[in-house]
Amino acid sequence: MQPNSIQRRLIATVVLSQSLLTAGLVLTGVLYTYWRLLSTLDTSMQARALSLAALVRYNDNATGDVYFDDTMVPPSIDPARPDVFAVWANRSGLLARSDIWPSNVELSPGGDQHWNAKWGHVPYHVLRMSNVPILDRVEGPLSKGPQTLSIIYASPTVRLRQQVRAAGIIIAVASLVLLVLMAKFALRGVGKGLAPLQTLAEQAALVSTQDWELRLPEEVEQIAEIEPVARSMKETLARLQRSFVQQRDFLANAAHELKTPVAVLKSTLQSLLQRPRSSDEYRTGLNQSLEDIERLERLLQWMLRLARAEQWAHGALRRNLELIDLNANCEEAIERVRSLARSRNTQIVLSRNGPLLLRGDPEDLRLVWTNLLENAVRYSPEGSRVEVDLAQDKRDLARLTFKDYGVGIPSEELPHIFERFYRGDPSRTRATGGFGLGLAIAKALVEAYGGTISAESTPGKGTCMTVQLPLDTG
Amino acid sequence: MRLLIVEDEARLAENIARSLRETAAYAVDVAADGEAGLNAIESNPYDAVILDLMLPKLDGMQVLERVRQSGRRTPILVLTARDDKESVIALLNAGADDYLTKPFDLGELLARAKALVRRGKGQASAALTIDDLQVNTADRTVSRNGRAITLTAMEYRVLEYLAHRPGAVVSKKELLEHLYDYNWEKFSNVIEVYISGLRRKLDDGSSRKLIHTLRNQGYVLRA
């Protein structure tokens, strides 16, 4: 067992609380026994004190004087340890005292009371009674009137103490035995109770990139303590699987996208070499190969851009942040696509509504706008227009829309356009020179700045891209 | 022989087509998307098809499945960018006869295409033998009784087709369909010119005639 073990901690808690309970139990038992025995002793002492009172007799002279008949003194409660007593009458004074009287002990009559005392190393329980009537009855009046008695009766509590101690030991031993048994049961119970954790660990170890499912027996999964753990593990696994599949698809797509231009290049060169050719044919072939390599180069650049954008999106690399006005930033992007727009005789119209300040890398955002603008221009018919509108949506949110009057996007393609390498109809997009990465890059960058991007489109009428970005209001 | 290439990457299709025409003397058609490819396969008796997987409109897998569903036995070689086991198995199970992963070697593609063509005609060896006539499809050489014979490209095409099906009557229409791609004008009387050329080069001076004409039926290559 490792030092930081739930099992160990649980058992320690159980044993500790059980020990406290046991101690409490032993204490209660001892106190209760003591109290019971003491009250029994008290009763016996009262009875003996009263029987002492019964031994006080009136003299026959009818004066009311009394004497103590010491022939019938009751035996001591503990035969081995003699009780101690004294009897006073209110007029006659001390009537009697036990034969054995501890030295240096002075007692006087007084109010009703009982207490513990230690006389000559012997513990006593002492009972004092007053106004005890004389039980002896005489005929006729007493000239000095009747008397009342004060009695002190003390009995050694040695035996009582021994009994209490014995009871304490019995209770303590029994409790300890129970405690040990309890700890053993707890150990087994906790071990059994923690077994589902073992199952969870074993099943979690079986999860792999081939099989993402965490399979738990139903009786394990429904345990109140396991259920939230299992649930969050499953959620995490699902998230990981999604991102794993996304990465794998990206790799597969990237491989395909890279292999095709390589295949073109290779076949061009091989077919050139298949037989002797004229220098014109070689020239054409080499020029084609050069074009293919340039396309490959562009594709690699786009893929690296996307990888970088996604890294920024995960906050891994954030650099060169400065305060940017989106209006100026967007205008710079428009300048970049100006020549493409001019070649297609397309007008780009910008409408701005006050400053929109944002902290960011100006190149990131220019890239977003450039990608959106290039798409808008490419899919617009010649002589058409692209409208860019910048507005403040709420106090801290900028909204940029890029609207074109082009071919539009079929509704079944709309949900996929931000996916990497998604190209819709490849014959159409390949003709426009896209790799299906521009929108994925735009999305990754916008999300890196905490924004959102969405598209609306009516086939045949046009497309409107909306970007929302949180502004720097500080 | 007549082949179809279904490939949306125009330059790749053009390179393959040029290679097949130049080194194998095949007639080659090109379709740029799955739909066009399927239409072409359904309306022409191709001796083999080279099919790319990632295609616009209808992807290669769908084309493959539809061709096989309609019962066509045209040999199909698939070009794919994926070489993982699962996708290869899926391809072959869907009815592909062979596959090649991109980027591939043009020489290998040609050899595989030729192998598919001869398998489709029930032949196994690249060197076809009819009596004492030898037609080697690998290097396109023809000899009879050890004597090398030089043929024009079209004569060779006609002979290669007949040699793949020795003993079978091949109609003029069949020859036309298998020797010309759809960029070519088809003149039926041209076939007769090639046949007579072949007869002169192969059979003249030999006691056993190999090329026979059956009136209103076609031609047979047999001993």
Residue A262: closest C-alpha in chain B: B103
Of B8, B19, B33, the CB nearest to A274: B19
Q: Read off the pLDDT of each residue in B43-54 and give the average, rounded to a whole number.
A: 92
ipTM exceeds 0.95:
no
B59-110 pLDDT per residue, tens: 899 999 999 999 999 999 999 887 788 889 999 999 999 999 988 999 999 9
For chain B, the residue count is 223
A interface test, pick of B5, B79, B102 with most A CB neighbours within 10 Å? B102
pLDDT of A42 strictly over 70: yes
pLDDT of B187 strictly over 70: no
A462 to chain B, minimum CA–CA distance in Å? 22
Q: Read off the pLDDT of each residue in B162-184 and give the average, rounded to a whole number.
A: 87
Q: Read off the pLDDT of each residue in A364-374 and give the average, rounded to a whole number.
A: 89
More confident residue, A299 or B127: B127
Q: Which residues of A touch B (CB under 8 A)?
A: 252, 255-256, 259-260, 262-268, 270-271, 274-275, 288, 292, 425-428, 430
Contact A396, A471 (CB under 8 A): yes
Q: Is B140 exposed, middle or buried (0-12, 13-18, 19+ CB in 10 A)?
A: middle
Retrieve residue A423's tokens: 């190209």
pLDDT band at A39, cuts 50/70/90?
very high
**Partners of residue A267 in chain B, C-beta under 8 Å:** 11-12, 15-16, 19, 103-104, 106
CA distances (Å), origin A217, targets A221, A223, A385: 6, 10, 62
A55-82 pLDDT per residue, tens: 998 888 878 888 898 888 888 888 888 9
Return the pLDDT at A417: 84
Q: How far apart are CA B134 and CA A430, in angstroms?
A: 47
A140's CB contacts (< 8 A; 6+ apart) are A62
- Domains, chain A, in order of start with CATH, read 6-165 (no CATH), 226-311 (1.10.287.130), 318-470 (3.30.565.10)
Q: How far apart are CA A333 and CA A339, in angstroms?
A: 12
Q: Read off the pLDDT of each residue in B29-43 and give the average, rounded to a whole number.
A: 93
The helix/strand/coil state of B50 is strand
Return the pLDDT at B31: 94
- Note whether A275 contacts B15, CB cutoff 8 Å: no
Q: Where are the beta strands (DSSP E) in A270-406?
A: 322-325, 347-351, 357-360, 385-394, 397-404
Closest C-alpha to B160, from B184, B182, B178, B185: B178
Return the pLDDT at A275: 86
Burial A427-453, CB ≥16 within 10 A → b, else e: eebbeeebbbbbbbbbbbbbbbbebeb
Of B18, B103, B107, the CB nearest to A262: B103
Return the domain boundaries, chain B.
2-120, 127-221
pLDDT band at B37, cuts 50/70/90?
very high
At position A283, the amino acid (one-letter code) is R
What's the topology of domain B127-221?
Answer: Arc Repressor Mutant, subunit A (1.10.10)
Residue B12: closest C-alpha in chain A: A264
pLDDT of A426 strictly over 60: no
Q: Read off the pLDDT of each residue in B49-60 and give the average, rounded to a whole number.
A: 89
A79-104 pLDDT per residue, tens: 888 999 999 988 888 888 888 888 77
A270-290 pLDDT per residue, tens: 989 988 899 999 999 999 899
Return the pLDDT at A261: 83
pLDDT band at A399, cuts 50/70/90?
very high
Q: How far apart are CA A348 and CA A422, in angstroms?
A: 26
B interface test, pick of A266, A267, A299, A432 with most B CB neighbours within 10 Å? A267
Return the pLDDT at A316: 46
Residue A327 neighbours by CB distance under 10 Å: 18
Q: Find the helix packing angle between B188-203 and B153-164, rounded to 10°.
A: 80
**Partners of residue B18 in chain A, C-beta under 8 Å:** 271
CA distances (Å), origin A139, targets A58, A62, A143, A147, B61: 11, 8, 12, 15, 136
pLDDT band at A140, cuts 50/70/90?
confident
Residue A263: closest C-alpha in chain B: B103
Retrieve residue A470's tokens: 């949180």
Return the pLDDT at A307: 78
β-strand B133-136 against B127-130: which pairing, if any?
antiparallel
Two domains, one topology: B2-120 and B127-221: no
Return the pLDDT at A430: 47
- Note whether A259 contacts B22, CB cutoff 8 Å: no
pLDDT of A153 strictly over 90: yes
pLDDT of B191 strictly over 50: yes
Q: What mean pLDDT, rounded, does chain A reach? A: 85
Residue B32: closest C-alpha in chain A: A427
Q: Candidates 3.40.50.1000, 3.40.190.10, 3.30.70.141, 3.40.50.2300; correct CATH number of B2-120? A: 3.40.50.2300
Return the pLDDT at A433: 52
Alpha helix locations (H) across B122-167?
Answer: 153-164
Residue B24: closest C-alpha in chain A: A274
pLDDT of A296 strictly over 90: no
Residue A288: closest C-alpha in chain B: B11
pLDDT of B48 strictly over 90: yes
Return the pLDDT at A169: 92
- Note whether B81 contacts A259, CB cutoff 8 Å: yes
pLDDT band at A218, cuts 50/70/90?
confident
Return the pLDDT at A61: 81
β-strand B76-80 against B98-101: which pairing, if any?
parallel
A334-346 pLDDT per residue, tens: 998 998 899 989 9
Q: How far apart are CA B168 and CA B189, in angstroms?
A: 21
pLDDT of A428 strictly over 50: no
pLDDT of A389 strictly over 80: yes
- Note whether A260 contacts B19, CB cutoff 8 Å: no
Return the pLDDT at A427: 44
pLDDT of A409 strictly over 80: yes
Q: What mean pLDDT, rounded, does chain B reach? A: 90
**Partners of residue B15 in chain A, C-beta under 8 Å:** 264, 267-268, 270-271
pLDDT band at B162, cuts 50/70/90?
very high
Return the pLDDT at A31: 93
pLDDT of A132 strictly over 50: yes
**Partners of residue B54 in chain A, C-beta under 8 Å:** 256, 260, 426
For chain A, the residue count is 474
More confident residue, A27 or A299: A27
pLDDT band at B3, cuts 50/70/90?
very high
Give the whole-number percent of chain A exceeding pLDDT 90: 27
Q: Which residues of B touch A (CB under 8 A)?
A: 8-9, 11-12, 15-16, 18-19, 22-23, 32-33, 54-57, 79, 81-82, 101-107
A interface test, pick of B106, B108, B139 with most A CB neighbours within 10 Å? B106
**Partners of residue A288 in chain B, C-beta under 8 Å:** 11
Return the pLDDT at B74: 94
Cis previous bond, A459, omega within 30: no
Residue A457 neighbours by CB distance under 10 Å: 21
Closest C-alpha to A7, from A224, A197, A181: A197
